[in-house]
Structure 1
Amino acid sequence: MDGIHEILDVIYGSVTDDVLATIIRVEGSAYRKEGTSMLFRGDGTQIGLLSAGCLEKDLSYHVQDVINQRNTKTIVYDLRDEDDLSWGQGAGCNGVISVLLEPIDACLREHLCKLKFHLDSGRRVTMIKKLSKDYSVSDYLFMTDEQQLFGKWHGRLSLQIKSLLNCIHQSLPKSGITFSQELSADLYLHCFEPKPRLIVFGAGRDAVPLVSMASQAGFSVLVSDWRPALCKEKFFPDADQLFMGFPSEVMSMLSLSSIDSVIILTHHFQRDRELLHLLKGHKLRYLGVLGSKARTKRLFDGREIPPEITSPVGLPIGAEGPEEIAISIVAELIQRQRLKKPEKAMARERSWSSYD
């Protein structure tokens, strides 16, 4: 995850001297990729990480300059050298990282709060930042799935600019810097995704580490069970929501989307079968059923398991016990999050290369 959801939660309503730090370019390899953000707060606290600890201390000194001068600034770190006197500090990261620092003034804070609203509402948001020659930010714009525009742009917002931003939004390009012929300027592009949602059906003891790990990995986790003795906040403090009720009752309260993941682990054969029937026809990012393939086949009266259903769940790491199984499941969810782009989106991404 790019860290933006945790940052947006913190700055909402804040009035301190916050500085947003974002990786806008990576040449070679690095600990984190383009689009990753962290927040330096006026009280000295930090939210998120851009490196394995190599850069944050030095960045904190530049942050003070940014706060004092109230200007954006890009810092470039060359981590390719492997001696202890270089930025690589013997780590051999073999990359050059450009980090954009932006003071969060009242205007940017308002727009980041709007970004949070749209992401919390399940809408994807694309952002472009127009960069000057020293890679400071002169203008920026956000566009939602519904083509709503907000941001700060000097001069008239022409049809050409709107068309360009819409093209970027539809093409889902890789985050980073590209040159725009239309604007005769470098642009930093990034697409913000709504926080991925995981719905866990079943609140047994093996669900506890799964919910905790998925939450730490950046998922918004919902837990559902019909048994009041199990579906309790004290067992799932990291869950965003708890739904107490039978599958048919809960399903009517959920608005499932193609970016949702669902795990079924009720350990109740008839409930599992009911859930699979209720989920039939829903296009999900991931649908997994805990248990052996033979058991899952029995849920379908011996027929082959539909290809959209994963069973057994999790990456095949030989996991045993609730914690290891939770690790394997969360790893597979992250893998699906990273690699499973719709074919249409991938085709659009390939077409975007014509703009580079």
Structure 2
Amino acid sequence: MNNHLSSMLSDWQKFRTSTQWVLGTVYLTEGSAYRKAGAMMLVNGNGQQFGLLSGGCLEADIMRNARKAMVTGKAVMLVYDGSDEDDLSFRLGIGCGGRVHIMLQPLLPGNDLGLADLHASLQRRQKGKYFQKIGDVCAYFEPDSTVSLEHASIEKRPDGDWLVTPILPEPHLLIIGGGMDARPVISLSHQLGWKTTLVDPRAANARREHFPNANVILRHLDDSLIAYIHENSVDASVLMAHSISLDAKALELLSRSSVRHVSALGPRHRFAELLMQAGLKEVDLPFDVASPAGLDIGGQLPESIALSILSGIHAVLFRKHSAAVARLQAAE
């Protein structure tokens, strides 16, 4: 199950008219909680759920209450208190110990809560803000290219309180080189719900049968890649072609693109060679660089290296302080 919002909405779009649906949203947390404000899940009349609002402790009770929202056509408000021994969530064994406030909004005929607009924007990899009126069946989406990674917040208005959730598409990763060690990178990226594009001009590499989960496979490493990166909102790239000439060519193209981060496989002196062959200076690159790629987790096998690379990229894209971020800051 892919818990990214875009995947959840794609499932909803496929079956939106065949059954009833309810949107569940965490709108407030107090203390520790598995998911934060703005987390969403979808429940349908067939008993299926898409996404999570807890670590799995509360979902059965949430789905039971979702039935009430379907029947009444009104929002159902829930509070789970993990610190109260008399509360249901405590008896269910919720481990975080905090209080979670959840709103269940039924999708009604003629009122899809703005989810169609939200889904269309995510398909276009467009940022925005999602507005939900707390305690009511009212919501809408507004595109906004300036949205950052800030958390959801409650906005007080004359007509009531509204939850405002920043919406960003899932990360899009560009992998240069389709050798065997790229397979777990693509596979793990797919499990994370990320979009992946694989580029390798060599006929023997990046074969579809070896990369069934790659969203796109490209065969041309030329200026067309710059336009592709811009049009498809590529966030980060990994140089792992095991070819100085190919990686250097890719680095030169990336230096003229809109990517935010590049991870380069191999030792630091190899990246210096890439820069020299590409005719570039690291200080002039418009993106962060991790060379060697990934976090130092002591792995040697391709699967561990893939985990290391993606962990480092995740830390950078989501702006979390980690060894990868510290290393990047130290290099500045």
Give the shorter-chain TM-score range. Answer: 0.7 to 0.9
- How far did 1:305 drift? 4.0
Secondary structure of 1:330 counterpart: helix
Q: Are 2:60 and 1:70 aligned?
A: no
Q: Are 2:110 and 1:107 aligned?
A: yes
Evaluate the alpha carbon distance shift between residue 85 and residue 49 of structure 1 in structure 2; reply closer, same or farther with a 3 A threshold. Answer: closer
Evaluate the alpha carbon distance shift between residue 278 and residue 103 of structure 1 in structure 2; reply closer, same or farther with a 3 A threshold. Answer: same
8 Å CA contact 1:257, 1:283 repeated in 2: no
Secondary structure of 1:194 counterpart: coil
Moved more, 295-304 or 7-16: 295-304
Q: Are 2:21 and 1:18 aligned?
A: yes
Counterpart amino acid of 1:29? S
| 1:275-327 CA-partner distances (Å, limit 9, x unpaired) | 11111133422111111111111212398744722111111212211100111
Q: Are 2:301 and 1:326 aligned?
A: no
List aligned pairs for 1:1-356, cutoff 5 A: 3-14=4-15, 15=17, 16-81=19-84, 87=90, 89-109=92-112, 111-131=114-134, 136-145=135-144, 173-180=150-157, 183=158, 185-248=160-223, 250-255=225-230, 260-301=235-276, 305-306=282-283, 308-339=288-319
Counterpart amino acid of 2:152? S
Quick one: distance in 2 between partners of 1:98 and 1:11? 24
Quick one: distance in 2 between partners of 1:5 and 1:214? 15
Q: TM-score, normalised by structure 1?
A: 0.79
- How far did 1:271 drift? 0.7
- How far did 1:69 drift? 1.0
Counterpart amino acid of 2:312? E
Evaluate the alpha carbon distance shift between residue 19 and residue 91 of structure 1 in structure 2; reply closer, same or farther with a 3 A threshold. Answer: closer
Counterpart amino acid of 2:291? S
Counterpart amino acid of 1:241? V
Counterpart amino acid of 1:192? I
- Aligned residue pairs total 313
Quick one: distance in 2 between partners of 1:316 and 1:304? 25
Counterpart amino acid of 2:308? S
8 Å CA contact 1:83, 1:90 repeated in 2: no
8 Å CA contact 2:78, 2:102 repeated in 1: yes
- How far did 1:205 drift? 0.7
Quick one: distance in 1 between partners of 2:5 and 2:147? 21
8 Å CA contact 2:66, 2:76 repeated in 1: no
Secondary structure of 1:98 counterpart: strand
8 Å CA contact 1:256, 1:282 repeated in 2: no
Secondary structure of 1:300 counterpart: helix
Evaluate the alpha carbon distance shift between residue 32 and residue 171 of structure 1 in structure 2; reply closer, same or farther with a 3 A threshold. Answer: closer
Evaluate the alpha carbon distance shift between residue 107 and residue 194 of structure 1 in structure 2; reply closer, same or farther with a 3 A threshold. Answer: farther
- How far did 1:229 drift? 2.5
- How far did 1:10 drift? 0.4
Quick one: distance in 2 between partners of 1:5 and 1:268? 35
Quick one: distance in 2 between partners of 1:231 and 1:296? 23
8 Å CA contact 1:292, 1:312 repeated in 2: yes
Evaluate the alpha carbon distance shift between residue 92 and residue 194 of structure 1 in structure 2; reply closer, same or farther with a 3 A threshold. Answer: closer
Where does structure 2 lack aligned partners over 5 or more consecutive residues? 322-332
Evaluate the alpha carbon distance shift between residue 283 and residue 231 of structure 1 in structure 2; reply closer, same or farther with a 3 A threshold. Answer: same
Secondary structure of 2:310 counterpart: helix
Q: CA RMSD in A?
A: 2.7
- How far did 1:245 drift? 2.5
| 1:192-213 CA-partner distances (Å, limit 9, x unpaired) | 1122211111111111111111
Quick one: distance in 1 between partners of 2:104 and 2:94? 24
Where does structure 1 lack aligned partners over 5 or more consecutive residues? 147-168, 342-356
- How far did 1:74 drift? 1.6
| 1:171-230 CA-partner distances (Å, limit 9, x unpaired) | 8752032433xx252111101112221111111111111111112112111111112332
Moved more, 252-261 or 35-44: 252-261
8 Å CA contact 2:81, 2:87 repeated in 1: no
Q: TM-score, normalised by structure 2?
A: 0.85
Secondary structure of 1:101 counterpart: strand
Evaluate the alpha carbon distance shift between residue 232 and residue 110 of structure 1 in structure 2; reply closer, same or farther with a 3 A threshold. Answer: farther
Identity %: 30
